[in-house]
């Protein structure tokens, strides 16, 4: 039967509207009368709120992916790699707010969770809280709207303007095939966490984060070393309290660490990257090197892979992570020639590629992206392919369910 969930969506006007998805189907056996009523609630954003009632027959459900990381840790690059796997360029909504944080492609919609800030920049300063603090975010609205989109229901999503620091009027977001929610808190609220079909955490070590910030802020923005240190230290308590603990819930963690190939390295240019994959996740099989479940150490440098100093080292094996059984694939070092990545790819299994060499093709396609010569780009690409496979499995299982019910 057709189900009509009711959701309230905050807006800056006071009207109530009823919207029906264009593909809602009703037939003679759907003889059900549904009563519903609207109600207003106080807006945490200082304006009036409106009610939106929508009905969805539930014939297609959006797959929801969560990506958590601190600011400046590569979320945007990862999103570009992920949307590329599904095809089509990710762009802001056409004709909408030029400062929108949303990116839309053929199959994906990427929502920045900064849009659920309940306090603007001035409000946070007045209350003495950072954007990392849960008190500066509206998790009730986040949950309601992600749940609605997952159920195939459009929402009027708020916009946080990173330029002005203000809360802009909302934008209409229609349910995509794949919804990616990225930001500081996708796994913080248990209700939102339970809506995720797959979750990723980008875990950048303090040493690497500091090196990256120095390179960016000193070279590009003229900041002093002292001001950079002060900025990092000011965020650290809230990061440790509210952001970092989310990695225990992630299905996959990309951990970026200083290299072990160069003694006492502090430049952060050569990286050791670990892909930590949780076992037992539905529709997800961890990638492995050579032999699944074994402990492997591999230095591929030689006749088939060009390696300048300090070389490249791969490792793989089982481990535990916050009490969960995991498989860990690690790369230390960087590639000299991306076209030679095919040699490494040929020794990896469970990649969920459509054809031989697809990982290498994706890496070459985005050779100018940050991290394309090391494990960050490689593992982001692999996770993107695994998410595509997960989406296809979920879609296939939903298609098969009605057929099995009909046969029964």
Residue 22 sits at the vertex; the CA angle it makes with 20 and 26, to the nearest 5 degrees, is 75
pLDDT band of 402, cuts 50, 70, 90: low
Q: Looking at residue 405, what is its pLDDT?
A: 60
CA distances from 267 to 98, 211, 369, 374, 379 (A): 36, 6, 19, 15, 22
Which range is least confidently modeled, 31-45, 92-106, 165-179, 233-247? 31-45
The beta strands (E) that lie in 247-400 are given as: 252-258, 271-278, 288-289, 296-298, 312-321, 324-333, 348-349
Return the domain boundaries, the chain. Answer: 58-201, 250-394
If 0-12 CB within 10 Å is exposed, 13-18 middle and 19+ buried, where does residue 35 land?
A: exposed
Q: Looking at residue 91, what is its pLDDT?
A: 86
Query: Bigger pLDDT: 265 or 250?
Result: 250
Residue 382 reports pLDDT greater than 70: yes
Rounded mean pLDDT, 65-94: 87
Q: Looking at residue 220, what is its pLDDT?
A: 59
> Under 8 Å CB-to-CB from 30, ≥6 apart: which residues?
1, 2
Contact 244, 235 (CB under 8 A): no
pLDDT digit string (tens) for 274-287? Answer: 999 999 999 999 99
Q: Looking at residue 406, what is its pLDDT?
A: 60
Mean pLDDT of the chain: 84
Q: Looking at residue 295, what is its pLDDT?
A: 97
Per DSSP, the three-state class of 160 is strand
Of 173, 192, 295, 296, nearest in space to 249 by CA: 192
Q: Which two tokens stand for residue 326?
A: 């995991």
Q: Looking at residue 317, what is its pLDDT?
A: 98
What is the reported pTM?
0.83
Residue 43 reports pLDDT greater than 70: no
> Under 8 Å CB-to-CB from 44, ≥6 apart: which residues?
118, 138, 141
Q: Which fold has domain 58-201?
A: Rossmann fold (3.40.50)
pLDDT digit string (tens) for 222-252? Answer: 678 888 788 788 889 999 999 999 999 999 9
Contact 75, 57 (CB under 8 A): no
What count of other Cβ atoms lies within 10 Å of the Cβ of residue 147? Answer: 18
Which range is least confidently modeled, 42-56, 189-203, 369-383? 42-56
Which range is least confidently modeled, 10-14, 18-22, 80-84, 259-263? 10-14
Contact 172, 184 (CB under 8 A): no
Query: Bigger pLDDT: 402 or 280?
Result: 280
What count of other Cβ atoms lies within 10 Å of the Cβ of residue 389? Answer: 19
């Amino acid at each position: 039967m057709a189900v009509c969930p009711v959701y309230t969506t905050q807006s800056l006007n006071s009207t109530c509207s009823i919207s029906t998805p264009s593909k809602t189907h009703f037939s003679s056996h759907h003889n059900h009368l549904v009563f519903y009523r609207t109600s207003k609630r106080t807006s945490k954003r200082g304006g009036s709120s409106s009610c939106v009632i929508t009905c969805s027959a539930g014939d297609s459900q959006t797959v929801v992916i969560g990506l958590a990381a601190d600011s400046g840790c590569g979320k945007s690059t990862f999103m570009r790699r992920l949307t590329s796997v599904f095809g089509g360029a990710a762009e802001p909504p056409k004709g909408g707010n030029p400062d929108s944080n949303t990116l839309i492609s053929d199959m994906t919609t990427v929502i920045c969770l900064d849009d659920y800030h309940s306090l603007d920049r001035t409000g946070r300063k007045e209350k003495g809280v950072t954007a990392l603090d849960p008190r500066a975010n509206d998790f009730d609205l986040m949950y309601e709207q992600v749940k609605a989109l997952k159920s195939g229901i459009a929402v009027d999503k708020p916009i946080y303007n990173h330029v002005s620091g203000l809360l802009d009027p909302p934008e209409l977001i229609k349910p995509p095939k794949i919804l990616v929610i990225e930001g500081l808190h996708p796994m913080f609220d248990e209700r939102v966490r339970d809506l995720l079909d797959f979750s990723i955490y980008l875990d950048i070590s303090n040493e690497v984060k500091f090196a990256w910030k120095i390179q960016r802020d000193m070279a590009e923005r003229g900041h002093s070393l002292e001001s950079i240190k002060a900025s990092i230290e000011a965020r650290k308590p809230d990061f440790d309290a509210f952001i970092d603990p989310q990695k225990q819930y992630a299905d996959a963690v990309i951990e970026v660490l200083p290299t072990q190939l160069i003694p006492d390295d502090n430049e952060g240019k050569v990286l050791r990257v670990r892909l930590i994959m949780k076992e037992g996740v539905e529709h997800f099989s961890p990638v492995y090197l050579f032999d699944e479940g074994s402990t492997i150490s591999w230095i591929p440098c030689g006749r088939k892979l060009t390696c300048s100093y300090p070389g490249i080292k791969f490792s793989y094996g089982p481990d535990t992570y916050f009490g969960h059984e995991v498989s860990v694939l690690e790369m230390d070092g960087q590639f000299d020639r991306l076209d030679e990545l095919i040699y490494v790819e040929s020794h990896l299994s469970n990649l969920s590629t459509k054809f031989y060499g697809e990982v290498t093709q994706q890496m070459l396609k985005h050779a100018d992206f940050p991290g394309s010569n090391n494990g960050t780009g490689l593992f982001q690409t692999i996770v993107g392919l695994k998410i595509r496979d997960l989406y296809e499995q979920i879609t296939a299982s939903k298609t098969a369910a009605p057929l099995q019910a009909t046969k029964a």
